């Protein structure tokens, strides 16, 4: 059976009443009984169909609402996870930067200590070398002086004794 719009059926009932004959001096109207019951029968058929359609629409609405609620919860959870990841990433980056700065500062301290150690070692070696060279230079100078004295011609003694 074809579902007839309920408002159309109500309009047809109203038309039946308007087309009916008024009983004089009363508020009563005579209408075509067969046409009236035909419209009522159509309403009996149409109303359950309309109710089923309304129930289907309500079920669809509930289904859509449930799906939307589920999707919204999923989106919120995903957003929370992304926020947590971003915060963790930020904290991880900040921690890594702090660790890098700490390592850099420690490396600079280590380099400074190594440089001071190397300088101290070099100063010790150079001081020892300088001391040895000075000693060697003195020894060399003394040796040369001794050799020069030996080579110096001996001057003859004055011949005053022979005159």
% pLDDT > 90, the chain = 41
More confident residue, 157 or 61: 61
Whole-number pLDDT of residue 154:
63
pLDDT of 155 above 90: no
Whole-number pLDDT of residue 1:
42
Q: CA 111, 114, 118, 123 torsion: positive or negative?
A: positive
* Helices within the chain (DSSP H only): 6-19, 33-151
Q: What number is the average pLDDT over the span 8-29?
A: 91
| Pairs from 134-142 (Cβ < 8 Å, separation ≥ 24) | none
Rounded-to-integer distance, Cα 163 and Cα 157, Å: 13
Over residues 100-112, the pLDDT tens digits come to 999 999 999 999 9
Q: What is the mean pLDDT of the chain?
A: 86
Whole-number pLDDT of residue 98:
92
Q: What number is the average pLDDT over the span 110-137?
A: 90
pLDDT of 76 above 70: yes
Q: Is the pTM of this model over 0.95?
A: no
Bridge partners, 29 (sequence order): 22
User: Is residue 157 very low, low, confident or very high in pLDDT (cuts 50, 70, 90)?
Assistant: low
The tokens describing 57, both together, are 């629409």
pLDDT of 120 above 60: yes
pLDDT of 160 above 80: no
User: Is residue 3 very low, low, confident or very high in pLDDT (cuts 50, 70, 90)?
Assistant: low
């Amino acid at each position: 059976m074809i579902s007839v719009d309920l408002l159309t059926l109500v309009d047809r009932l109203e038309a039946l009443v308007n087309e009916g004959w008024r009983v004089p001096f009363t508020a009563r109207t005579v209408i075509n009984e067969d046409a009236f019951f035909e419209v009522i029968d159509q309403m009996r058929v149409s109303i359950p169909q309309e109710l089923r359609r309304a129930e289907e629409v309500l079920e669809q609405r509930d289904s859509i609402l449930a799906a939307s609620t589920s999707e919204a919860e999923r989106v919120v959870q995903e957003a929370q996870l992304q926020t947590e990841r971003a915060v963790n990433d930020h904290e991880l980056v900040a921690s890594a930067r702090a660790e890098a700065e700490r390592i850099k500062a420690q490396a600079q301290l280590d380099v400074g200590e190594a440089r001071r150690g190397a300088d101290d070692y070099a100063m010790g070696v150079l001081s020892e070398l300088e001391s040895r060279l000075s000693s060697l230079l003195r020894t060399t100078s003394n040796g040369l002086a001794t050799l020069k004295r030996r080579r110096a011609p001996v001057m003859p003694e004055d011949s005053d004794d022979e005159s």
